[in-house]
Structure 1
Amino acid sequence: MIPALLIGREGSVGFPGKNVYPVLGKPLMAYPLMAAKKAKSVDTVYVSTDSQKIKSIGKEYGAEIIDRPPELCSKEALGEDAYVHGYRYIKEKTGKDIELVVLLFCNAATILPETIDEGIAVLRKNPGYDSAVTVSKYNMWSPLRARKEGADGLLHPFVPFETFGDPKSLNCDRDSQGDVWFADMSVSIVRPHCLEHLEEGLLPQKWMGQNIYPLKQWGGCDVDYEWQIPQVRFWLEKHGFKE
């Protein structure tokens, strides 16, 4: 059995109501729901939430609902814990052997069913891989360019330049350090042991395990601020979605 598990909660500080914000005539969370429902390899779709509105939309798109407990709904709560809770619920409820779990966020709309099926095929072919996750290339956000404010109120390298080799060989070209891939949170397809032994996974998304296969795309992101909506709308339109 391969379930898809979509999580989203009621409260959001940076962008209230982001999960149900309308994009091209549909709530943001409808896009990962549609991708999971249309993926050929996914058997059942679950939505874990404390929000009545999210529950209603989930049911509209044929998902089964998991009541997300209050302790996993605060702004301090981690998504990884909500995923573990949802996985345990599905395993206990169905009593079936779970081959893989497709993990999605309500606020991450940049995902297609074909990408989900591709990731599942990769993991079936490569038993040594822990997960397959979408990544997008953002060379303009190379860690070489990252800065932090020092005690003197000035900007300093966030990561020492020596980490990247001889500083004399570095330059301001955004591509000079090679491609920089970020997990864009559109989907993580994981083996059950990743959720059963979360402590063994790599930071910051420990649910991905150790051996992570990149499903390369462009422009993917999970929406945390309203200014990201035009990027998501652009991505969806480029992939054939219309108002």
Structure 2
Amino acid sequence: MTMLSDKRLCTICVRGGSKGVPGKNIRMLAGTPLLAHSILQARATGLFAAVAVSSDSPEILDIAGRYGADYLVERPPELATDAAPKLPVIRHCASAVEKSCGFRYDVFVDLGATSPLRLPADISACVARLRSEDADIVLTATHARHSPYFSMVRIGIERGVHLLMSTEPPPVRRQDTPECFDMNGSIYVWTRDALMSERGLFGSRTRLHIMPEERSADIDTELDWLLVETLMQRQLADAFTPG
């Protein structure tokens, strides 16, 4: 069992603006603001010395503090645009916390606030995998519903339609294609060196932790919200059903 460590920091990075679902990060889901689900899940693992929330929104930071975030990091405007990549945002949050507390963390875990169906056990499994497989990065994903080798296509020159990926001989069944996964954006785990370096996410020292589809939904549209709301109601019902 992985125990509490003063060398792990959890970050949750959320912007105030949202085009697909306006105000989604503070919208109530099962009686709790969306972003607060991630804070509570991080706390439930018992893994982290601290939980930090980064945002450009004072309202979001206020809610994060009320739900147990230890550090409230004000995100600079240049990292709060639609075009801002996430890795610099996480690095900024981590560096701001270290500057504030005067302590260097060894492991960083970022939770996507729009993926509230994960379980604390999913987070714990990813952290354990970082150590057990001597990895630098652990990402979460779910089995892809569509295969780029079989049912995902692109429009090429002269408006011709082609598979995104090809094999020889061409597969006649989806089961014959290479196994593919959809990254679900739920959990990212890094060693300190991997996060603070300029390397990307992918490589020989990156591992994939597979989560079931029913815990991998990411909220980007109102339809996503309805799906997550329905699945969370079932998840909560199952939690309170006697075994």
TM range (shorter): 0.7 to 0.9
Correspondence 1:165 to 2:168 = yes
Change in 2 beyond 3 A, CA 1:73/1:118: same
Aligned to 1:60, which of 59, 63, 66? Answer: 66
Correspondence 1:104 to 2:107 = no
1:221 maps to: 217
Change in 2 beyond 3 A, CA 1:217/1:193: same
Amino acid of the residue matched to residue 189 of structure 1? V
Amino acid of the residue matched to residue 207 of structure 2? Y
For each residue in 1:24-83, what CA deviation from the matched residue of structure 2 results, as whole angstroms up to 9, or x when unmatched? Answer: 222221221111111121111000001122112211111020000000011111111101
Q: Per the alignment, in what secondary structure is the counterpart of residue 140 of structure 2?
A: strand
1:189 maps to: 189
Contact 1:185 1:221 (C-alpha < 8 Å) held by counterparts: no
For each residue in 1:138-189, what CA deviation from the matched residue of structure 2 results, as whole angstroms up to 9, or x when unmatched? Answer: 2x2211222233454x46225242xx3322xx12x44331432222111111
Contact 2:156 2:162 (C-alpha < 8 Å) held by counterparts: no
Contact 2:111 2:186 (C-alpha < 8 Å) held by counterparts: yes
Where in structure 1 are there 5+ consecutive unaligned residues? Answer: none
Correspondence 1:86 to 2:82 = no
**Percentage of matched positions with identical amino acids:** 24
For each residue in 1:84-125, what CA deviation from the matched residue of structure 2 results, as whole angstroms up to 9, or x when unmatched? Answer: 111211222222231200111222212221121222222223
Deviates more, 1:44-53 or 1:8-17: 8-17
Contact 1:130 1:210 (C-alpha < 8 Å) held by counterparts: no
Pairwise CA RMSD: 2.3
Q: Per the alignment, in what secondary structure is the counterpart of residue 51 of structure 2?
A: strand
2:78 maps to: 71
Q: Per the alignment, in what secondary structure is the counterpart of residue 190 of structure 1?
A: strand
Contact 2:154 2:164 (C-alpha < 8 Å) held by counterparts: no
Change in 2 beyond 3 A, CA 1:221/1:155: farther
2:147 maps to: 142
Contact 1:130 1:191 (C-alpha < 8 Å) held by counterparts: yes
Looking at structure 2, the residues matched to 101 and 216 of structure 1 have their Cα atoms a distance apart, in angstroms, of 19
Stretches (4+) displaced over 4 A: none
Q: Per the alignment, in what secondary structure is the counterpart of residue 29 of structure 1?
A: helix
Q: Per the alignment, in what secondary structure is the counterpart of residue 236 of structure 2?
A: coil
> What's the TM-score once normalised by structure 1's chain length?
0.84
Looking at structure 2, the residues matched to 89 and 187 of structure 1 have their Cα atoms a distance apart, in angstroms, of 21
Looking at structure 2, the residues matched to 141 and 182 of structure 1 have their Cα atoms a distance apart, in angstroms, of 9
1:33 maps to: 39
Amino acid of the residue matched to residue 211 of structure 1? R
| Greater length-normalized contact order (CA 8 Å, ≥ 6 residues apart) | 1
Q: Per the alignment, in what secondary structure is the counterpart of residue 175 of structure 2?
A: coil
1:176 maps to: 176
Looking at structure 2, the residues matched to 14 and 155 of structure 1 have their Cα atoms a distance apart, in angstroms, of 32
